Amino acid sequence: RLHIVTWNVGTASPPPDVTSLLQLNSLGPAMDMYVIGLQEVNSRITNFLSDLAFDDPWSIFFMNVLSPLGYVKLSSVRMQGLLLLIFVKHVHLPFLRDIHTQYTRTGLYGYWGNKGGVAIRMSLYGHSVCFMNCHLPAHMENTEQRLDDFEKILEMQFEEENIPSTLDHDILFWFGDLNFRIADYGIHFVRESINNRRYNLLWEKDQLNMAKKKEAFLQDFIEGPLQFKPTYKFDLYSDVYDTSEKKRKPAWTDRVLWRVKNLCQHTSKESELPEEEQTISVTLNNYISHMSYGISDHKPVTGTFGLEVKPLLSIPSVILKPEGEWSAEHDVVISYSAVPEFPSSTWDWIGLFKVTFKHVNDYVTYAWVKDDEISSNNDSKQVYMNAEEIPNTGGEFVLCYYSNNMQSIVGVSQPFQIQPDRTSVGKDLAQEEFNWMRKPDNLESHNEF
C-alpha cells in the first residue's frame, strides 16, 4: 500500500496535524510506503543554507509524525523549493536496493532551481520504481513550456552505471504542481460548474487532459478521475477561491499520474497481458484532495495505491539477531549470516536502533562487521558491541546491517528488548532523590518531618 502526497505549501511552515492527509485513522491496513512531494518549500537563502546543514523543518516534521508508527525515512532529495521524501515500514528495508536521487532545473533556462523536477528511484523487491516530483511553469498561456519542461525532466539520467532512464523503470510515478489550467471557459462558468459539482464539464478543457490526447510521450501516463474540486487557487485558511484582484480561475494544478512499462510495451487496446506475465500491477484505491488544509493557496492531493508485485527478491541479503539477553551490564553479541553472493565490504556496519528510529543515521551505536568480529564459520559470523555503548535505560530495539556497496540497509532483526542496567537505574533513582532533596522548596518541607 502506497500513499503519495503532492502539496504546494507556499513557503509556509508545517500545519499542526496531518492525520487526515496521511490517512492515519484509516480503518484499512497501514500504508507500507509514504511518498511526499512538496513544492515551494521556504527556500530563502538563509533557510536553504541551514536546511543543507540540517534537515529542513518539513522533513523533521514528517519524521516526528511517522517514526513512532514504525516508518523510516528511506531517502530524500531537495532542489530549492522542491522536496521529495520517502518513508517505509521497517519490514521492507532489506528489499529496497539501488536507491538513487537526481534533479533537473528548468527555471531560467535551467540555471535556477525554482522550477523543475526531483526524483528518487529504487529497486523494490527486484522491480525498478521511480518517483518524480515536479513544479512546472505557471500561467494559462504556458502550456507548451510546461510540456517542453516535462519532456526535458523525463530525460533525467541517474549518475550511477546500469541505472535505467526514467521511462525505462517498471513503474514511474509523476506528481507535483504541474500548473495545467482549464482553457477556454470563463471564470463564472468554471466556478458555477464547481459549485454544482459538475466537474465533468471541465475535464475536456483541462490542459493536461488535452495534451495527453496529442502528445505521444504523455499517452502512457494514467490518472484517476478528477472527482474533487480544483485545488488552486484559494484564499489562505479557507475553502473560498481567490477573492484578490487577480481572481485566478480555479484549476487542477496538483496531480498524481503513473506509468507501467509492461503495459506500455505489451498491451494494445484489443488485448491484455497474459496473467502469468503480469509481474506488476498498480491499482488506484483513492484519489482525493484535502480541503481542510489552508496554509497555502493550494490544497494537497493524495493518491493511494495498491502495488502488487511478483517478488524477484524475497530473501534478505543478511539475517541477523541478538544473542542472549542484552543489557549494559556486559558486552553483547550479534550473529548474522549472508547469502552466498552478498558483496560484503570492510566498511559494512551493524547499527543498534530504537524501534522508532527516523533514518539510517539515527543509530544509538554501531559495530564494524570486520573490525569487531569475534568468530566466523561458513554458516554465520559473530560481532560484539561494547557494554559501554548499550543504553542503560533499556527498551525495545532493532539491529540493522548496512551495506557500503549497496548503500542501503540489507538486513533488519526482529524487535528485541534490552534490559535496564540495574546498578545504573539504582544510581539514577538515588541521584534523582538527592537532586529533589536539594531543591530549596523541598528542603523546608523535608525538615518538617
Q: What is the pLDDT of residues 283-324, one digit of tens each?
A: 999 999 999 999 999 999 999 999 999 988 889 999 999 999
Average pLDDT rounded to a whole number, residues 38-58: 73
274 plus 291 within the same structural domain: yes
300 plus 393 within the same structural domain: no
* Lowest model confidence (mean pLDDT) among 12-26, 66-80, 85-99, 433-447: 433-447
30 plus 131 within the same structural domain: yes
What is the C-alpha separation between 408 and 277, in angstroms, rounded? 29
297 plus 249 within the same structural domain: yes
Task: Give the residue with greater pLDDT, 82 vs 437.
Answer: 82
Q: Which residues, in sequence order, are bridge partners of residue 133?
A: 118, 175
pLDDT band at residue 55 using 50, 70 and 90 as cut-offs: confident
Query: Which residue, chain included where needed, has cell 564494524?
Result: 368
268 plus 326 within the same structural domain: no
Q: Which of 285, 309, 333 is the last residue of a domain?
A: 309
Neighbour order of strands in the sheet with 280-289: 71-79, 82-89, 33-39, 2-8, 301-309, 280-289
292 plus 172 within the same structural domain: yes
172 domain residue, yes or no: yes
User: Which residues lie below 8 Å from residue 362, measured CB to CB, with a gap of 6+?
Assistant: 353, 354
291 plus 353 within the same structural domain: no
439 domain residue, yes or no: no
Taking residue 361's Cβ as centre, other Cβ atoms within 10 Å add up to 10
Closest CA to 6 of 75, 113, 99, 83: 83
Q: Which of 251, 284, 309 is the last residue of a domain?
A: 309
**How many angstroms separate the first and last alpha carbons of the chain?**
62
Query: Which residue, chain included where needed, has cell 518541607?
Result: 445
117 plus 258 within the same structural domain: yes
CATH number of the domain enclosing 359: 2.60.40.2840
Closest CA to 121 of 134, 132, 136: 132
pLDDT in tens, 230-280: 999 999 999 999 999 989 999 999 999 999 997 775 544 444 544 446 688
pLDDT at 189 over 60: yes
What letter would DSSP give residue 25? T
434 domain residue, yes or no: no
Residue 101 lies in domain: 2-309
pLDDT in tens, 350-409: 999 999 999 999 999 999 999 999 999 888 999 999 999 999 999 999 999 999 999 999
What is the C-alpha separation between 51 and 55, in angstroms, rounded? 5
179 plus 245 within the same structural domain: yes
80 plus 192 within the same structural domain: yes
What is the C-alpha separation between 365 and 351, in angstroms, rounded? 6
Percent of residues, the chain, with pLDDT higher than 90: 80
H/E run at residue 98: strand 96-106
Measure CA 61 to chain center: 13
378 plus 278 within the same structural domain: no
Residue 338, amino acid: A
pLDDT in tens, 132-173: 999 999 999 999 999 999 999 999 999 888 899 999 999 999
pLDDT in tens, 62-78: 999 999 999 999 999 99
> Domain tally for the chain?
2
pLDDT of residue 112: 54
Query: Which residue, chain included where needed, has cell 522508532?
Result: 356
Q: Which residues, in sequence order, are bridge partners of residue 88?
A: 33, 72
179 plus 58 within the same structural domain: yes
Q: Which of 289, 309, 329 is the last residue of a domain?
A: 309
pLDDT of residue 174: 98
CATH number of the domain enclosing 58: 3.60.10.10
Taking residue 310's Cβ as centre, other Cβ atoms within 10 Å add up to 14
